[in-house]
Structures are given as structure tokens and as C-alpha cells.
Chains A and B, each alone.
Chain A
Amino acid sequence: AQSVTQLDSQVPVFEEAPVELRCNYSSSVSVYLFWYVQYPNQGLQLLLKYLSGSTLVKGINGFEAEFNKSQTSFHLRKPSVHISDTAEYFCAVTLRGSSASKIIFGSGTRLSIRP
């Protein structure tokens, strides 16, 4: 069975500093990978996803993530964060060929931006 690990439960960063949120996955078969963001008191929305092709994926709000198959990682990065990026970030995985319902979420990383 697949699993997702987000090692950092909280990441405090100063405004305009770069940030990396880590995500590692475990699966015996090929996967699709996702990053979702949850702003305070809201539902989740998709930031970006990796399906195939280029391992560097660009998403909304200046975020990008890189798929590294050998390290089974899909870390999320942003070169310069803003106060508005304060949110909970979830990495998620599905197995290729399975149903979209079989999505597994990580435990989330809270990104807090300090002025």
C-alpha cells in the first residue's frame, strides 16, 4: 500500500525568504503526486500535480515541486514567500491505474510566515 510522509509539521519562515516543504512517498507501483493547500477555515485547493513528463512542475501562486523518483520525493518550493502563503499544505498520492478516490494525504505542514 502507498503512504505519504510529511516530516515537518510546522515550518516558520520570514516573509520574502525561500521555503521548501518536504514530501516523501512509498509505493511499489507508479504514482501520481499532488500538493494541495488549505487556507485558514477553507477547503483544500490544488496547487500543482505531477502526472508525467518533466519532473519540475509549476503550480499556482509561484509554487513549484520536483519529482525525484530515486529518492521517492516530491518537495514543494517557493523562492520568496508572502504573508498570504500562510496555510496548511498537504502532499497526496494516488496509484496509476486506480481510482481517483484512492487518494492518500500526508499529515500536512503548517507554513507560517513572519513579517
Chain B
Amino acid sequence: DTAVSQTPKYLVTQMGNDKSIKCEQNLGHDTMYWYKQDSKKFLKIMFSYNNKELIINETVPNRFSPKSPDKAHLNLHINSLELGDSAVYFCASSPDRRSWSGETQYFGPGTRLLVL
């Protein structure tokens, strides 16, 4: 009964390739997020969607494109992968209360991306 799931768990690929990471939540939440965690464990938000609408885009290169086919899914497509894209990518979700910042976020297990 995984609340927030991500696939794949590990992704090893060559520079220049295009790859996608998928995220699904079964919590009935309206808001979903993508985070990037670098090798020093620093965690930074990349995107946020509320009910399929993009609400946060934090100065992420255009090579990263999120897509939300419905409110339970948020995928991340990365074009022309670079060495610096190597990181752990986390998906998260929270209930729909965009005006209230006290929400708890529920995280997926992460996708470990290694670009060679």
C-alpha cells in the first residue's frame, strides 16, 4: 500500500540521453512536487503541480519538463542529460490547500539517477 511510488528506483544512463521518471500517489492529494537532492543531501524543490496545473517552477533548466496527466500522477522528463543531473529525485504530495503552508508533504522513495 505504497502512498507515493516512483519508478524506476535506479537509473544509469549516458550523457545526452533522454529519460523519464514516473510518480504516482494514492492518497487523494491534489498537490504534487518534484525535488532534487544532490550528493551533499541538499534538497531543493523543482516543480509543484496542483490538480494538474503547474504552480511552482524553480529556475530549472528547460531540459526538465514535468507532466501531470491527472492529479494522481506527476512525471518528470529530462532531455539531453548532463553529468550534473546526477542526483536523487524525490516526488512528494500534499493535500490541496495551497493557501495553507502548514501542510505535511509525503515523499516517495526516490529515484537515483547516475549520468555517465
- Residues of chain A having any CB pair with chain B under 8 Å: 32, 34, 36, 38, 41-46, 49, 51, 88, 90, 94-103, 105, 107-108, 110
- Residues of chain B having any CB pair with chain A under 8 Å: 4, 31, 33, 40-45, 48, 55-56, 90, 92, 94, 97-110
Q: Which residues of A contact B90 (CB under 8 A)?
A: 43-44
A101-B31, A105-B43 are contacts. A94–B109 as well, Cβ < 8 Å? no
B63 to chain A, nearest CB (A): 21
Please state if A100 and B41 are interface contacts (CB–CB under 8 Å). no
B99 to chain A, nearest CB (A): 7
Please state if B31 and A107 are interface contacts (CB–CB under 8 Å). no
Please state if A49 and B31 are interface contacts (CB–CB under 8 Å). no
B105 to chain A, nearest CB (A): 7
> Considering only CB atoms, which chain B residue lies closest to A34 in the complex?
B104
Please state if A43 and B110 are interface contacts (CB–CB under 8 Å). yes
A43-B4, A90-B43, A105-B43 are contacts. A100–B101 as well, Cβ < 8 Å? yes
A13 to chain B, nearest CB (A): 19
A100–B42 alpha-carbon span in the complex (Å) = 19
A44–B48 alpha-carbon span in the complex (Å) = 17
A90–B105 alpha-carbon span in the complex (Å) = 13
A45–B31 alpha-carbon span in the complex (Å) = 17
A47–B93 alpha-carbon span in the complex (Å) = 16
User: Which residue in B43, B105, B107, B108 is a CB contact (below 8 Å) of A100?
Assistant: B105
> Considering only CB atoms, which chain B residue lies closest to A43 in the complex?
B107
A94-B101, A95-B101, A101-B56 are contacts. A44–B41 as well, Cβ < 8 Å? no
A15 to chain B, nearest CB (A): 23
A42–B2 alpha-carbon span in the complex (Å) = 13
Please state if A88 and B55 are interface contacts (CB–CB under 8 Å). no
Please state if B99 and A42 are interface contacts (CB–CB under 8 Å). no
